[in-house]
Amino acid sequence: MKKILCLFGAVALMLTSCSSDDDKTSSEENVVLLPKTEKYTYATNPQENSIVTYSYDGNKIVSLTYNTGEKTVFTYTENLITKAVYTETYEGAMRIFTTTFTYDNGKLKSSFQVGSANSLNKRRTYTYNANGTISTVTVLINPTTQLETQDSSSTLTLDASGNIVKAEFNDLTTIIEYDTKNNPFRNVLGFTSLLDSDIFDKDVNSVNNIAKVIEKSGAVIEGTTTYTNSYNSDNYLIKSVSGNETYEYTY
């Protein structure tokens, strides 16, 4: 967003001298919105279409509920999300996945997901490196034998706003470009602290909105995905289109 130019002078002078654009920007910076619904449309696979409804206690998210029956309920410790319980019906049976999060001085330290019977548990740890990157290791755990198998590892690079701009997996690299507008969830307490956790059904928990994703294998670009984003008058995302997929938000 543009910085407010009218920083000095009497209030009366500010009101008369600042341009209408600057006044609008000032009001936008003070607007705090929370998404009420997210509508997902998959043009070529309409059976995947869904609507998610979000409920809150102030700026803390209480739950997200899908029109298809799935639901996630959140628990906070102070202003950080420390538990998310996801429920779904699969082949006629209820399945529950509980993810707990730990932090160190406000930074995500680990996540641990426990599933229903016959599903593997999953633990991811985060290490904050001296160069500013974050290393992650994901381990799958057999709930019966407790045998651990490394599933993946990655190195995350963040920009000054805390957006993940690069994720490196062995010889594979994902580069993410963002707009400068407001992610619908940026005002949800604890959202951005979750980094790459997918409990919001998002690839990354960012302040801004994804504009382009570039997938590389070594130096070779394997694929590029672009997003066409639309915003409301307060610069919050209301629609994002990429290929056959569309996300729409109400506030």
Would you kindly state where each structural domain of the chain is located, as residue ranges? 39-250
Averaged pLDDT of the chain: 89
Once rounded to an integer, what is the mean pLDDT over residues 103-117? 94
pLDDT bin (cut points 50, 70, 90) of residue 116 is: confident
Pull the structure tokens for residue 225. 């995905």
The least confident of 39-43, 125-129, 167-171 is 167-171
Out of 1.10.10, 3.30.420, 2.40.160, 2.60.40, which CATH number does the structure's domain 39-250 have? Answer: 2.40.160
Query: Radius of gyration (Cα) for the chain, nearest Å?
Result: 20
Question: What DSSP assignment string belongs to 42-99?
Answer: ETT-GGG-EEEEEEEETTEEEEEEETTS-EEEEEEETTEEEEEEEEEEETTEEEEEEE
Q: Could you tell me the pLDDT band of residue 91, with boundaries at 50, 70 and 90?
A: confident
- ∠ CA 66-69-75, nearest 5°, is 65
Can you give the pLDDT at residue 29? 53
User: pLDDT for 129-151, tens place per residue?
Assistant: 999 999 999 999 999 999 999 99
- What average pLDDT does this structure show over 182-210? 96
218 contacts 168 by C-beta, under 8 angstroms? no
- Between 20 and 190, name the one with better pLDDT: 190
Cβ neighbours of residue 30 under 8 Å, at least 6 residues apart? none
pLDDT of residue 30: 67
Q: Residue 93: what pLDDT?
A: 85
Select from 110, 52, 59, 58 the least CA-distant residue to 86: 52
Q: Scan for tokens 């504009």, then name that residue.
A: 211
| 44-83 pLDDT tens trace | 999 999 999 999 999 999 999 999 999 999 999 999 999 9
Asked if the model's pLDDT at residue 211 lies above 70, the reply is yes
For the cut 60, the answer to whether the pLDDT of residue 154 exceeds it is yes
* pLDDT digits 0-9 by tens, 3-38: 333 333 333 333 333 334 444 443 445 689 999 999
Mean pLDDT of 233-242: 98
Query: pTM (2 decimals)?
Result: 0.84
